[in-house]
Amino acid sequence: MMQSAFCPLNSASFHVAIIMDGNGRWAVQRGFPRGEGHRQGSHAVRRAVEAALRLGVTTLTLYAFSSDNWKRPMSEVNLLMSLFYDFLRKERKQCLENGIRLNVIGRRDRLSRSLRAAVESAEAATAQGEKMLLRIAIDYSARDSILFAASRLDGSGDATRENFAQRLAEVNHAHPAVPDVDLLIRTGGERRLSDFLLWECAYAELVFLETMWPDFTADDMEAAIREFHHRERRFGALPQAATA
Ligand code: FPP
């Protein structure tokens, strides 16, 4: 339906990243335990993936668990980990049918053995997917990954943005490496980046929504992409009219 209208700038790549915030507040506002917010949040993930695919997004990166989220109560951490596990096991068929390639970015050494196996198996099973890359950030910290990548520089002084980005991709298990974020959406009413894709969002357009993540719909995604298309992206240069 609206797909052609949103075909992203006629370019090959359109990278949308989402900070899925507000699960806990959504639940508390309704008198539910926080976990219910996360459960409903995983349904919103499915809606977001479907909408992204329909709207011509080529890479969708979702912030599911930050490295700082380990500070949460063990029961909440365990619930989140089991939701990730279920998602990777259950969504694999949908991904295969829809040409979606899965990639989990972030650290892997602190994930349970079973979750790590589910990650590797989902990635291998969907590796041929060419319509959209769905990246889920788990145990992810932009600052840590920048630090790890920087510590791998060899000191020869020939670092470039391109080869640093490549190192960042390596430390995050980001395969394939993808272009920077075009549009960053954050739900839940807060206006901050919370250590998400700091390097890759250098020129991202930011859209902040009051909607709590469990209420996120395809309409919200369409509206955010529409807003993106109204922005003028100059990447530090002058507006086109000024150079004509
Ligand atoms: C932030 O909301 C959200 C998280 C820390 C977890 C995100 C997880 C999901 C959306 C569900 C499962 C995901 C997948 C990929 C299957 P918050 O709990 O910090 O919200 P609050 O600010 O209202 O407390």
For residue range 133-146, list pLDDT tens digits in order. 999 999 999 999 99
Q: Is 9 helix (H, G, I), strand (E, B) or coil?
A: helix
pLDDT band at 241 (very low <50, low <70, confident <90, very high): confident
- Answer yes or no: is pLDDT of 159 > 70: yes
Task: Report the 10 Å Cβ neighbour count for 139.
Answer: 22
Distance 152 CA to ligand 1 centre (A): 32
Does pLDDT of 156 surpass 90? no
Residue 26's pLDDT is what? 98
pLDDT of 8 over the 50 cut: no
Our mutation pick for probing the ligand 1 site, out of 21, 72, 81, 140, counting the most ligand atoms within 8 A of Cβ, is 21
Distance, in Å, from the CA atom of 25 to the CA atom of 122, rounded to the nearest integer, reads 31
Q: Give the closest residue to 46 by CA, choosing from 13, 14, 1, 93.
A: 93
Residues 24-46, mean pLDDT to the nearest whole number: 98
H or E element that contains 128: none
In this predicted structure, what is the pLDDT of residue 12?
Answer: 85
Distance 127 CA to ligand 1 centre (A): 26
* pLDDT exceeds 50 at position 208: yes
What are the helix and strand counts (H, E) for the chain? 9, 6
